[in-house]
Amino acid sequence: MKAHAPFFDLTKARTETSWLAQGSSSVQQQTLRDLAQALRHAKKGTHRFPTWRKRGEHEGFCVRDVTVRVLNRHWAELTVPKAGRLRFRLSRPLPKPHGMARVTLDSAGWWHVSFSAPQAAVEREPTGAVVGIDRGVATTLATSDGRMLRALKLRPREARRIDRLQRQLSLQKKGSKRRGKTKAQLARTHAHATRRRNDWIEKTTTSLVRDYDLLAVEDLKVRSMTAAPRPKPDPDREGAYLPNGRAAKAGLNRAILAQGWGRFLRRLEDKAGASGVTVVWVNPAYTSQQCRACGHVAKENRESQAVFSCVACGYEDHADRNAAENILARGLALAPTPGQGASQHELAARTSPSQDGSENLVGSVAA
């Protein structure tokens, strides 16, 4: 920590640097608090070590003493110290109560304002229903009661536009203004698709929490699943490597990340924890190869991506639905009574972030 001591002497830095003194000291103090917290998390090993901010990628600041004036149902203003009133568009009602306001810039060049507030509970009545959820690439979510849910992906027109822009980008000089414009167009196209997927996730998680008292999901390690394969040194040639399927694995990783598994589970935990719905994490091993009827486990049971046919008893079903039923069975064996709140299963040992509060994106800053 001694190596980082100069960064914490804000008073001296503001005295020696004129442009730093022109900014708000409260905003800069919160930046130092964020840095200190990030360093503590990195020391504990729970988070990665903080990196330097990059222009256009990690821009933003936090306002502690929030003063918001609602103009109408579409627009509001946030008072930023030494900068004046910042007008933004309300994408949802302001949370009550709300904490700090964080202003951020995304990769598409759009500014956003978010306010920290506890996760609101979903309006629901106990149903007594339980469900197992299987995640996949062809079908994003398959439930034990037969529902097949697919996340919204790139539209054909958007995919063609991205291909054209990527070819154009490869021919442009790095650091040129035209290349910067092309990168911005690419980012905006991806941002539109991301917004649609996030909207689908919000609606889907709300529906699941409202309709079921218990949700059983696989305890998948998405970060490990999407890691690049390790190089394979060639024992016969020094300095050479054998093929390791990196290109094929990269395609699979992109397909997995496009489903939004991580955000889906995070939002599901947030809403379930605030609404008294139980979430049970189960061991995902062999859920797609185990027969729901007789329990036989074999790789041959999975004829294809969608077809499950048990070689022992002849039971046939959709492969994703069979896996979801196995997940539900394991969840019921481990779960407490439905409706008693989110559980801390020994396999996951995780608590919903909604217990401590989360940031809710409220609006976009007017350009």
328 band by pLDDT with thresholds 50, 70 and 90: very high
Residue 154: strand pairing partners = none
Specify the pLDDT at position 302.
87
Please say if 218 is a catalytic residue: yes
In single-letter form, the type of residue at position 158 comes to E
Q: What is the pLDDT of residues 221-260, one digit of tens each?
A: 888 888 888 888 888 888 888 888 888 888 888 888 888 8
pLDDT at 60 over 60: yes
Q: What's the pLDDT at 1?
A: 40
Q: Identify the three-state secondary structure at position 337.
A: coil
Distance CA 210, CA 348 (A): 23
Catalytic residue among 213, 269, 270, 320: 320
**Range 163-177 average pLDDT:** 93
pTM tops 0.95: no
pLDDT at res. 8:
62
**The pLDDT value given to residue 166:** 94
**What mean pLDDT do residues 318-336 have?**
89
pLDDT tens readout for residues 17-32: 888 888 888 888 888 8
What mean pLDDT comes out for the span 334-355? 42
The mean per-residue pLDDT over the stretch 116-129 comes to 88
Question: If you average pLDDT over every residue of the chain, what do you get?
Answer: 83
Phi, psi of 265 (to 5 degrees): -70, -35
Vertex 173: Cα angle to 167 and 177 (nearest 5): 100
The confidence band for 132, taking pLDDT boundaries of 50, 70 and 90, is: very high
Q: Is the pLDDT of residue 356 over 70?
A: no
Mean pLDDT, residues 344-367 taken together: 40
**pLDDT value for 348:** 35
Residue by residue, DSSP assigns 188-206 as: HHHHHHHHHHHHHHHHHHH
145 is catalytic: no
Banded pLDDT at 327 (limits 50, 70, 90): very high
* Predicted local distance difference test score (pLDDT) of residue 363: 52
Reading the block at residue 210, the tokens are: 């409202």
Cα→Cα distances 9→6, 12, 18, 63, Å: 6, 6, 15, 20
The SS3 of residue 104 is strand
The rounded distance, in Å, linking the Cα atoms of 38 and 4 is: 13
Q: How far apart are CA 90 and CA 74, in angstroms?
A: 5
What is the reported pLDDT for 362? Answer: 52
Give the C-alpha separation, 340 to 358, whole Å.
22
Q: Give the tens place of pLDDT for each residue, 275-288.
A: 999 999 998 888 98
The pLDDT of residue 347 is 32
Q: What is the 3-state secondary structure (H, E, C) of 40-97?
A: HHHHHCCCCCCCCCCCCCCCEEEECCCCEEECCCCEEEEEECCCEEEEEEECCCCCCC
Three-class SS state of 336: coil
Task: Report residue 106 as tokens.
Answer: 């995304």
Could you read off the pLDDT of 136-155 as tens digits, one per residue? 888 899 999 889 999 888 88
pLDDT value for 131? 93
Lowest mean pLDDT among 47-51, 86-90, 318-322: 47-51
| More confident position, 355 or 25 | 25
Given the residues 134, 269, 270, 325, select the one marked as catalytic: 134
- Per-residue confidence at 361, pLDDT binned at 50, 70, 90? low
57 is catalytic: no
pLDDT, residue 270, reads 92
- Tell me what pLDDT residue 365 has: 53
Contact 324, 134 (CB under 8 A): yes
Catalytic residue (choose from 213, 218, 269, 325): 218
Has residue 349 got a pLDDT over 90?
no
